[in-house]
């Protein structure tokens, strides 16, 4: 069965600093990988996605992620964090079965931004 690990529960960075959120996955085949962001009390917004092709993918809000098959990782990065980036971030892997694709999520990383 597939699984996703986000080793950092909570990260605090200063505004303007760079950011890297870690994600490791376990999946037997080529994975569909995603990063979502959730503000308090809101639904999840898709930041970026990967299935194949270029291993460095660009997303919305200035985020990017790099797929590393050898490390089973899909880390999220941003070169300069803004206060509005404070939120919870979820990494997810999709697997197929019974005619549908199901997402398995990590437990999330809460990002706090210091002015």
Partner 1 sequence: SQTIHQWPATLVQPVGSPLSLECTVEGTSNPNLYWYRQAAGRGLQLLFYSVGIGQISSEVPQNLSASRPQDRQFILSSKKLLLSDSGFYLCAWRRDSPYNEQFFGPGTRLTVL
In three-state secondary structure terms, 86 is coil
State which of residues 78, 93, 106, 111 lies at the interface with partner 1 (CB under 8 A).
106
- Between residues 2 and 75, which has the closer beta carbon with respect to partner 1? 2
Q: How far is the CB of 16 from partner 1 (least distance, A)?
A: 29
Q: Which residues contact 110 (CB under 8 A, 6 or more apart)?
A: 9, 10, 11, 87, 88, 89
Q: How far is the CB of 115 from partner 1 (least distance, A)?
A: 26
**C-beta separation of 8 from 99 below 8 A:** no
What residues from 57 to 96 belong to the interface with partner 1 (CB under 8 A)? 90, 94, 96
Q: How far is the CB of 49 from partner 1 (least distance, A)?
A: 5
Q: Which residues contact 54 (CB under 8 A, 6 or more apart)?
A: none
Q: How far is the CB of 103 from partner 1 (least distance, A)?
A: 6
Q: Which residue has the tokens 């009390």?
A: 41
In three-state secondary structure terms, 8 is coil
> Contact positions toward partner 1, by CB under 8 A?
32, 34, 36, 41-46, 49-51, 90, 94, 96, 98-108
């Amino acid at each position: 069965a597939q699984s996703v690990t986000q080793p950092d529960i909570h990260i605090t960075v200063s505004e303007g600093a760079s950011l890297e959120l870690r994600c490791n996955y376990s999946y037997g085949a080529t994975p569909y990988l995603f990063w979502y962001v959730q503000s308090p009390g809101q639904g999840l917004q898709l930041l970026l996605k990967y299935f194949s092709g270029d291993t460095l993918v660009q997303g919305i809000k200035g985020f990017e992620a790099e797929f590393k098959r050898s490390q089973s990782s899909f880390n999220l990065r941003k070169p300069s964090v803004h206060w509005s980036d404070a939120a919870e971030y979820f990494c997810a892997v999709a697997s197929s079965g019974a005619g549908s694709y199901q997402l398995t999520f990590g437990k999330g990383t809460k990002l706090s931004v210091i002015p």
